[in-house]
Structure 1
Amino acid sequence: MHVQSPRRFHRLLPLALTCGLVLITLTASGCQTAYYETMEKLGYHKRDLMVSDVKKARDAQQDAKEQFKSALDRFTKTLNIQGGELQDKYDALNEEYQQSEKRAQAVRDRIASVENVSDALFDEWTAELKQYSNATLRQKSQKQLTQTRSQYAQLIKAMKRAEAKMDPVLAKLKDHVLFLKHNLNAQAIASLKSELVTVEGTIDSLIKDLNASIQEADSFISSMEKDNA
């Protein structure tokens, strides 16, 4: 039996890894294409799926906004206690942090879903423009595509801006939760009070961007549903 030399094995390993990544990418792409084809057979076109995903992303952002408000409220209450109940307050604040992380992940997942279906929709729309025999209708469709792309660009920009602010807020919450965990005493509370203004400011800024993103989503949904009426 022939045995590969270690040197030859190491030369082949990067190639094998590259081929593996390509296969995974093609498989994922194939599954996504099959999914869209199946949904279209059931009467759900990419446009419908895109509007549905935008609605879900909007709702996820609304949930995240309420959760971050709750976390800030819990953090403020924790700083106002007079000792004795600190362990219970820490447990409650930690739970708020965990829920905030879940809500933030839901927002990330929904935004990724919106991006996936919108890419597929715009690719299909662009390709199908070539199928027109009527130049006037092609131009009208091209204009509608351009307008939809522009509206979508504003929407995804607002969503991404809000998404980018979630991680810094979560990091601050986690820092304070850990600090309470490691310093369950009145001195820990006193030192954290100076941080309250910073936490309030970052969460207020996040909520402002979430509200803006939610409004963009509402506007986009309204426009798409109006065009489809």
Structure 2
Amino acid sequence: MPIPATDFPKTQTSIQRFWLLLFATVLLGGCSTVYYKTMEKFGYEKRDILVDRVEDARDSQNDAQETFRSSLERFQSVVDTPDTELKEQYAEISDAYEDSLASAEEVRDRIDKVEEVAEDLFDEWEDELSLYESASLRRSSEQQLKDTRVQYSQLISRMHDAEDRMEPVLQAFEDQVLYLKHNLNAQAIGSLENELVSIRQDVDYLIRNMEQSIAESEAFIQRFRQGG
């Protein structure tokens, strides 16, 4: 598995190490075990990768909020300016839909990457519990694992809630683009205005869900950085 550019240690400032790690990535790509071991050689554990990927997912949701807000405004501008050339109006909302679609795909991809490393981290943690000689340390680590899983479950649930709310907005955007594409006339523009109310409600709901997910991400990041 190639190492995502965003997975390089954010505190790493050595250009030489960057290129060495990039070179190793090219040679070792395809195996997650080798990938993790390579990252560990540079002092970068799974927990660090997880935190970075949660940060990336948070950032992608921030970007998505702005994209969906902007797209809604562009749809609104088409309705508010019926005297604009119809082809220009179609191009405007078509671009807005494509931007929203790309932003949604980025969010989904970032969430997938969070889940991937989280599953590997928890599997490793579970396996290593049996290596303890000290029963008290094992119980302590096991409790930390349970607590972290609960925290992660809340986080990923919020992320998926926000992810799910993107679909009805994207579908509504696509419907409007298709409708205008096949009905390039003034009546088509007028009909969009009726649909815009429900679209705006969907976007507002989506943004609220994303804000909750972002807040949960922030809390998760802070807990991990404070040691669990």
- Please tell me the TM-score bracket, short chain as reference: 0.7 to 0.9
Looking at CA atoms only, which structure, 1 or 2, has the larger radius of gyration? 1
Equivalent position of 1:155 in the other structure: 155
- Structure 1 gaps of 5+ residues are 1-29
Counterpart CA distance in 1 for 2:176 and 2:34 is: 46
1:27-38 paired onto structure 2 within 5 Å: 31-38=31-38
* RMSD over aligned Cα atoms: 1.1
CA offsets, 1:4-49, max 9 Å, x none?
Answer: xxxxxxxxxxxxxxxxxxxxxxxxxx71222112111221100000
- The reply on whether 1:125 has 2:137 as its aligned counterpart is no
Q: Which moved more, 1:81-90 or 1:97-106?
A: 81-90
Counterpart CA distance in 2 for 1:190 and 1:117 is: 48
Q: Which moved more, 1:162-171 or 1:102-111?
A: 162-171
State the AA in 2 paired with 1:139: R
1:180 Cα deviation from its structure 2 partner:
1.3
Equivalent position of 1:39 in the other structure: 39
1:14-93 paired onto structure 2 within 5 Å: 31-93=31-93
Counterpart CA distance in 1 for 2:174 and 2:52 is: 33
1:1-229 paired onto structure 2 within 5 Å: 31-227=31-227
Q: Is the 8 A contact 2:82 2:189 kept in 1?
A: no
CA offsets, 1:72-131, max 9 Å, x none?
Answer: 111111111132422212212111111111110001110000000000000000111111
Counterpart CA distance in 2 for 1:82 and 1:130 is: 69
Counterpart CA distance in 1 for 2:154 and 2:86 is: 45
- Structure 2 gaps of 5+ residues are 1-29
- Number of equivalenced pairs: 199
State the AA in 2 paired with 1:129: L
Counterpart CA distance in 2 for 1:79 and 1:178 is: 15
TM-score (normalised: structure 1): 0.84
1:52 Cα deviation from its structure 2 partner:
0.4
Counterpart CA distance in 2 for 1:91 and 1:219 is: 40
User: Percent of aligned pairs with the same residue?
Assistant: 48
